[in-house]
């Protein structure tokens, strides 16, 4: 997939306990060695109990996706959406997106079940709901972020206003986290909604409509022990709140 040019990978599958598995280590290793590749994984449908997130969503570098209910109830986490923490205490999910619930399902492409399946150009609703439906929606948001950067919207908020950017996976993940919309959790980031429901309008800057601007630092070299990199900004605190998000692609664990 990577050799064919894919840089965003959506995975609506998984299972098992909330441990860090061999598959998780493989995912983290691939992302460590391919820093522009961002993988998404469904958090699971074993909620609402805590500690129900399952591999591969328990990997460190992937974007783990929980589910909200469908509109107009998207401000609530779906009851079935698996919760964190992972066995080692890390928060999951990373973010959430609509996954549907009874009576308000998510629609998706539908093929027949012959072998091989034949495209039908139909839609499937009932009974489609789950973090498996939320995950491709989140991956689609990542593609919109990459397209925003590639078309040169950054930093002026206008098409072709700047040079196109080929972002790292960490930068795309940081933008999704920064655009997380808090859904009322008192302790966000929480083990039920992560950093919130993806709302790209909260992070992407478009001129002249938006007040909040966007500044990005995509550090490709990194720092060694004892080193530091400093960034300085002038902030107009009266205009809009300052939100800073730091994301890195980590080395795989054992």
Per residue in 173-202, pLDDT tens? 999 999 999 887 556 789 999 999 999 999
Q: Which two tokens stand for residue 104?
A: 């308000």
Integer Cα distance of 106 and 73 in angstroms: 13
**Reported pTM:** 0.93
Per residue in 212-252, pLDDT tens? 889 999 998 888 899 998 999 888 877 778 899 999 999 99
Integer Cα distance of 174 and 165 in angstroms: 15
* CA angle in degrees (0–180, nearest 5) for 45-175-249: 75
By three-state DSSP, how is residue 96 classified? strand
| The pLDDT of residue 131 | 97
Task: Strands of the chain (E only): list them.
Answer: 8-11, 38-42, 63-68, 95-98, 108-111, 119-124, 180-181, 197-198
Q: What is the mean pLDDT of residues 41-48?
A: 97
| The pLDDT of residue 185 | 59
Per residue in 118-158, pLDDT tens? 777 777 767 789 999 999 999 999 999 999 999 999 999 99
Length of the chain measured in residues? 254
| The pLDDT of residue 196 | 95
Query: End-to-end alpha-carbon separation of the chain, Å?
Result: 25
Q: What is the mean pLDDT of residues 73-97?
A: 96
């Amino acid at each position: 997939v990577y050799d064919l040019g894919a840089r965003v990978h959506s995975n609506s599958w998984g299972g098992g306990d909330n441990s860090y598995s061999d598959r998780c280590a493989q995912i983290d290793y691939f992302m460590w060695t391919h820093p522009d590749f961002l993988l998404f994984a469904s958090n699971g449908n074993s909620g609402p109990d805590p500690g129900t997130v399952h591999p591969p969503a328990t990997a460190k570098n992937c974007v783990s996706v929980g589910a909200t209910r469908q509109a107009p109830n998207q401000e609530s986490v779906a009851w079935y959406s698996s919760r964190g923490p992972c066995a080692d205490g890390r928060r999951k999910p990373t973010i959430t997106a609509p996954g549907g619930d009874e009576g308000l399902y998510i629609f998706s492409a539908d093929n027949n079940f012959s072998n091989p399946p034949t495209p039908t150009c139909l839609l499937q609703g009932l009974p489609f709901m789950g973090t498996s439906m939320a995950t491709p929606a989140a991956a689609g948001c990542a593609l919109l972020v990459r397209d925003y950067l590639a078309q040169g919207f950054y930093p002026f908020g206008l098409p072709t206003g700047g040079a196109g950017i080929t972002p790292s996976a960490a930068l795309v993940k940081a933008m999704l986290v920064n655009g997380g919309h808090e859904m009322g959790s008192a302790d966000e980031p929480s083990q039920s909604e992560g950093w919130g429901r993806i709302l790209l309008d909260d992070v992407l800057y478009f001129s002249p409509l938006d007040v909040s601007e966007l500044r990005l630092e995509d550090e490709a070299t990194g720092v060694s022990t004892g080193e530091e990199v400093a960034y300085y900004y002038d902030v107009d605190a009266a205009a809009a709140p300052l939100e800073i998000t730091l994301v890195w692609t980590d080395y795989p664990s054992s």
